[in-house]
Structure 1
């Protein structure tokens, strides 16, 4: 049976380390992460099969926000395992973006079987190309081209480009781009995003990324 590479993240869950050990014991690669940017290199390289979010505690509001955020930026099957909550919460997690919902008493073998099922049903290829407004990102090789000329953004600059190119008509706020780079709750310097945007414009074109005054940034139309 093919080995899976799973990302596992916890939201106030005491059983997080237990789940990591149980899944790893079944000869799976399991990577624990605490912030989104820790997971992105493996995700961008196409080296991850699924993400498991382990939730604990009575207040699920933060977990639902985390799930919605992960769903927005990750194109992976996401399974939610709850520590001590009723299955009555299943609908809320599924609506927030989970592909499956399991309770803490689920056997680890069943968890893996469900992951394999989700992976089989996914029609997304392991690698793909994002192309928009003169920008082209090969998600397999991480090669980035602007107007067919190669450019070499840093890891964080690439995360910004990927977000903008994935939804070229969407305006991203400074706070949303900070979350993409650093995860929720991180307090960046006030000009951090502006510095990255300036660097990306130097690599491409001054109008490649537009500033929507008072709102944020989006990709601009490719110059003729």
Structure 2
């Protein structure tokens, strides 16, 4: 899953980026509203973390512009402001959740997971396809109850396909959602990771739809 952070605090922004990358997300960081708006308008994200008190363009304006441009990814608003009017303004501008500073990182990650699940139509924190289970809270993957060790990139790819179970996902979409903006998009690593996942979880877990991409279905219907 790919996340955009728009945060101008010189310590907090990089800390959040490192923490989310450690939790298995691909992360881009913008440090002002102008760059944040541009990235959110031109790149594909599964969610954004947006500070309201930004230089260049304030966070509420950024959020309003995204929504007017039909950019519908979930947005978690971060702000030092704690008045009810600021919360209402953020939600009315199109925010999906709100977290006031200071906050616990564990709560932010839990809220982010919930936003991504709901956006994909998944109510549970556990994603299931036949004998395969992925717990988004712990990052644990099991096959018939036995733990399976995946690399970070294999986990990201499997997680994205499980969040979009039953849908055909193109190679381009996978690249856009599991890597940050600096990744070489001509790389053939998606095919390599799909092959590795099939070896670990079964050849039928991911179906190649020729000319279109990949699909993960529940083998048990």
TM-score, scaled relative to structure 2 = 0.62
Contact 1:171 1:212 (8 Å CA) reproduced: yes
Q: Where do residues 139-150 of structure 1 align in structure 2 (5 Å cutoff)?
A: 139-150=136-147
Mapped to 1, the partners of 2:29 and 2:81 lie a distance apart of 14
2:50 is aligned, of 79, 97, 100, to 79
* Residue in structure 1 matched with residue 90 of structure 2 by the alignment: none
Contact 2:140 2:147 (8 Å CA) reproduced: yes
Task: State how many pairs are aligned.
Answer: 184
TM-superposed CA distance for 1:222, in Å, is 1.8
5+ long unaligned stretches in structure 1: 1-6, 25-29, 45-50, 103-107
1:193 to 1:8, Cα distance in 2 relative to 1, 3 A: closer
* Residue in structure 2 matched with residue 20 of structure 1 by the alignment: 10
5+ long unaligned stretches in structure 2: 83-97, 116-123
CA offset digits 1:83-130 (Å, max 9, x no partner): 22365544223564324487xxxxx454963676xx69x6949x9322
* Residue in structure 2 matched with residue 208 of structure 1 by the alignment: 205
Which structure has the bigger radius of gyration? 1
CA offset digits 1:113-166 (Å, max 9, x no partner): 3676xx69x6949x9322223320123333211233332111110111111111
TM-score, scaled relative to structure 1 = 0.61
CA offset digits 1:29-86 (Å, max 9, x no partner): x71538xxx7332367xxxxxx9964333893333345x5041xx7xxx334332236
2:22 is aligned, of 13, 26, 41, to 41
SS in 2 for 1:186: coil
RMSD over aligned CA atoms reads: 4.2
* Residue in structure 1 matched with residue 15 of structure 2 by the alignment: 31
